[in-house]
Amino acid sequence: MSDPYDPNPHNPPSDSGGFPHPYQGSYGGGGYPGYQPGQPHPQYQQHPQYQQYPQYQQYPPAQPGGPVYLTAQPPRNNGMAITSMVLSLSSILLTCMWGLGLIPAILGVVFGHVAKKQIRRDGTEGDGMATAGLVVGYCVLGLALLAIVPLILFGIATMPLIATNA
């Protein structure tokens, strides 16, 4: 063991102090296969020279009127289908808030039918949105009728009472 008060602590002692040599395996064998301590390192083989390829030919710049590459346009959505869906969905809010949802629901159904006809004719996208606009519009109209019919019947039933009390 080395002296802790040694004025030159960075000089390692002559023996390794029980620790294995860095190139020696922990079980006493050499750390690298084919290498024994004290022998010179094996020489590496030289790689063969790479083949030289011919220089590529320079092409002239593209001339005006040359080939034009067109990319495919994404399919367009039908505007009527989008309008139908937006109007029908907004009719839900308007019906719940102020009872004014009948107008956008009717418009949503009309735009939905027009969109379906245009999609069949033109082949544009948006059939799902048109269908959603139709379904939601008809549902809002049905719920509004279910709410209005009892009110009308109640008004008709109470009208004779109002007329006799006046």
Note the pLDDT tens digit of each residue in 33-70. Answer: 555 666 665 566 666 677 776 666 666 666 676 666 77
**CA–CA separation, 108 vs 60, rounded Å?**
59
Task: Determine, yes or no, domain membership for 65.
Answer: no
Task: Determine, yes or no, domain membership for 111.
Answer: yes
Residue 125: both structure tokens together: 């996208």
Residue 160 has pLDDT above 80, yes or no: no
Task: Determine, yes or no, domain membership for 70.
Answer: no
Task: Determine, yes or no, domain membership for 150.
Answer: yes
Backbone φ, ψ for residue 153 (5° rounding): -65, -40
Cross-strand partners of 125? 77
Q: What letter represents residue 95's amino acid?
A: T
Task: Determine, yes or no, domain membership for 12.
Answer: no
Residue 135: both structure tokens together: 């379904």
Task: Determine, yes or no, domain membership for 35.
Answer: no
Task: Determine, yes or no, domain membership for 91.
Answer: yes
The pLDDT score that the predictor gives to residue 86 is: 97
Residue 14: both structure tokens together: 């002559």
Domain assignment of residue 127, given as a range: 80-165
Please tell me the total count of domains within the chain. Answer: 1
